Chains A and B, each alone.
Chain A
Amino acid sequence: MALTGFRSLLAAAAVAAMLAVAACGGGGGASGGGDATAAGPNGVDDGTTLTLWTRAPLEKQAKLLVEAYNATHQNTVELTVTPNDDYVAKVGAAAGAGGLPDLFAADIVYVPNWVQQGLFQDISDSIDGLPFKDAINAGHLAAGTYEGRAHVLPFVLDLSMLFWNKDLFREAGLDPEKPPATLEEYAAAAKAIQALGKPDTYGTATGLNCGGCLVFTWFPSIWAAGEQVMTPDGTQSLLASPTARQVYDTWRDLWQSGAVLPSSRDEAGPTWTAGFTEGKVGLMFYPATLLSSTQGFEVGVAGIPGPNGGSSTFVGGDGIGISKDSEKAPQAWNFLSWLMSEEAQVEVLGKNLDVVSRSDLADNKYAVSDPRLVTINEVAAAGETPVAINFQQAFNATNSPWLTLVRDAVLGTGADLDKNNDEITAVLSQQ
């Protein structure tokens, strides 16, 4: 018996150890050696091995970029891809232990917090040396700027766009070349496709148990109406406004009419885009980075409409910077300066039908050949990147108050909207 008592103590200690490992050697905050600017505008390319971490949703783009860099440079970048849900824990544990890689990407909504915590090195001077500095995506740069110093460059831009399956539109008797201009038209189109009664085919889809997906795809409807989701300092939620209510009501109506893919209700993120990618969903708000993965049917792309028209997008994706623990900053800057170059932006990202991070390259040769990319680049200029220190806890976390709000407003009674909105504010405003 004494043994089992001890075992249970051990089991409890396992939890403790998990936390302890994460914190081991915590407090190391000294900036790594080597100044990125010391080595000239392009950094150093001397055969050094650099490590780079990113999260799974942007694996495709990260791989293409790293392969192209390794093929043309003496430096070697080793890429590590981590599942989306585990990325923060992994970075947190490494940050505490002083074991961050040389370069790492972060979901742009977490960047303000991470920069403030000192995870990235200051690269303002290096960025100032870039001749095209003003053309770099302003939303991403702003998210990584703390006390006037820039720490982060855009790695991959991911925009939320309205994607529609032109084949299904044709079958349902809708104009395949004309995207819905309002949320109401969006709902009508979804219902029309649902009314086809095709097996396994649904009007629309979303991730109703995925805070990140909902932020990414529903905030733009509110922005399209010219309104905000938070106060500019990111401490107060405005998600109980009449416009926000209209958004929830539209989705509530869609859900009740049965035009939403049923698995959307419990979709926590891993497969939220799968239905559309397989051609089984008529139209949905979808990440632009996945444009190249929609094969086998014709796809149209437009901005996300508001309740009464307008259009906007969430300029998401990942920012990238040099970690506080890196001692190879000049070499790491070599990768970053190459990343911003025309060679990387156009020949790697543009060629893969991705959005480029520089507005002066928006009309590159690949974009011009595909009108959908021109649309994405145009809408990108009107998009927004929300900034809040407690963004993850308020919106992305699995038990976030934002999820509670949406699920109550769309699947439940909707009676607690104001209370749930106050709960978001409470989380946003905590220190």
Chain B
Amino acid sequence: MTSSTLTGPAAPAAPVRHRPVGRALQGWLYATPTAAFVGVLFVLPLLLVMLMSASRWPLLSGYQGWNLPANYSRAVSNRFFVDSVVFTVKYTVLATVLLIALGLGLALLVQESTRWKGLLRTAFLVPSALGLASASLLFYVLYSPFAGPFAPIMERMGATFLGTPDAALWSTLFLIVWRYAGFYMLLMLVGLQAVPADVYEAARIDGAGRWQTFRHITLPLLRPTLALCTVLCVTGSLLAFEQFYILTKGGPDNSTISVVQLIYTVAFQGQNDLGVAAALSVLVLGVLVLVNVLQIRAFSRPEER
């Protein structure tokens, strides 16, 4: 599309060009469906949220006039704001480390194993076929001290899966690892298979051990895959909602409120203030853009910078 802006009536001396107009039109046609989707489903809601974040907008009565800095100051001074940010960051770090490490580990395992390859790959990937909300409900029952199958064990141990802040965090992390490890394994597997076999062969001829091969061949060549996985995982974890909404509802004692859950609570559970919720959303969006830019820069090869 950029080529069309370079050509035009500015070059009268040039011979007749039938290419640009037709191609430009074609280009626009190709781009229209995506542009329309992005416009309707992304840009418009985004503008609406920006507008809401600058307005007094109670859930039950709609737009009530401008309210510009107040929404943002109320968002930041919400009594759960700091706690939810700290918790979300903590959760993101733990989830990312666990998922990347396990995803890579499982991918190596599946790649090395020849006999059980198909079975292992399927077994690890099956949980990914379940929606996150369904998976959360499944674990809600499994973890339930009243209706769950582990209820007798919990009673004997005198502890519950969701009863203390730490237990709730780790129980949720377990669900997330169970649900997503296969997905990241698949991504890593694709990355591993893109590493040319002759590089490994050369390393072996040079007498590199397993660890040396992994450290100096596999990891550097996996860099783009690792970047992709990290970006996906960090973004997904920062936006964590369903698992906490269903499993813990932010409890026990408000210890597991993620930022998105705070937005939901402000919007729909009590305060019912879409203006403040939108202000929080805009803040989250800003942070996400920043985090992703930083991540992509950190992972890009020096020559790409």
- Chain A interface residues toward B at CB < 8 A: 1, 4-5, 7-13, 15-17, 19-20, 22-23, 25-29, 85, 88-89, 91-93, 95-96, 113-114, 117-119, 209, 261-263, 265-268, 271, 274-275, 390, 392-394, 396-400, 404, 407, 423
Contacts and interface: CB of A to CB of B under 8 A. Distances in A.
Interface string B49-82: 1001000011111110000000000000001100
15 contacts: A8-B288, A11-B235, A13-B41, A13-B46, A15-B239, A16-B281, A16-B285, A23-B274, A29-B62, A88-B272, A263-B146, A266-B162, A275-B146, A398-B250, A423-B79
B296 interface: yes
Interface string B244-284: 00000111111001001001010111111010011001101
A290 B13 CA distance: 89
Nearest to B74: A430
4 closest cross-chain pairs (CB), A and B: A26-B62, A393-B270, A27-B62, A397-B270
Interface in B21-57: 41-42, 45-46, 48-49, 52, 57
A10 B40 CA distance: 12
Most B CB atoms within 10 A — which of A267, A390, A396, A398?
A398
A118 B45 CA distance: 26
Contact of B268 (A89, A113, A119, A396): A89
B292 interface: yes
B144 interface: yes
B147 interface: yes
Contacts of B289: 5, 8-9
Most B CB atoms within 10 A — which of A15, A118, A396?
A15
B296 A5 contact: yes
A15 B263 contact: yes
B129 interface: no
B249 A398 contact: yes
Nearest to B145: A263
Interface string B281-305: 1101100110011001000100000
A407 B251 CA distance: 11
A397 B232 contact: no
A110 to B, nearest CB: 10
B60 A19 contact: no
Contacts of B300: 1
Nearest to B228: A4
Q: Is the interface of A mostly helix, strand, loop or mixed?
A: helix
B253 A400 contact: no
A92 B49 contact: no
Contacts of B155: 262
Contacts of B284: 12, 15
Contacts of B236: 11
Given A27-B63, A263-B144, A404-B253, A15 B281 contact: yes
Contacts of B254: 399, 404
A9 B231 CA distance: 12
B163 interface: yes
B227 interface: yes
Contacts of B162: 266
A400 B270 contact: yes
B239 A266 contact: no
B218 interface: no
Contact of B147 (A119, A271, A393): A271
A88 B58 contact: no
A416 to B, nearest CB: 12
A265 B268 CA distance: 25
A22 B146 contact: no
Contacts of B231: 1, 4-5, 8
A268 B249 contact: yes
B60 A92 contact: yes
A19 B278 contact: yes
A182 B45 CA distance: 56
A96 B59 CA distance: 7
Given A22-B274, A392-B269, A399 B250 contact: yes
Interface in B119-158: 144-147, 155
Most B CB atoms within 10 A — which of A4, A25, A27, A261?
A4
Contacts of B61: 26-27, 29, 95-96, 117-118
B270 A20 contact: no
A9 B265 contact: no
Contacts of B232: 4, 7
Nearest to A407: B253
A397 B52 CA distance: 23
A261 B145 CA distance: 10
Given A9-B288, A13-B45, 8 more contacts: A10-B42, A11-B239, A12-B281, A15-B263, A16-B281, A95-B61, A119-B60, A397-B270
B111 interface: no
A296 B130 CA distance: 39
Contact of A95 (B41, B59, B160): B59
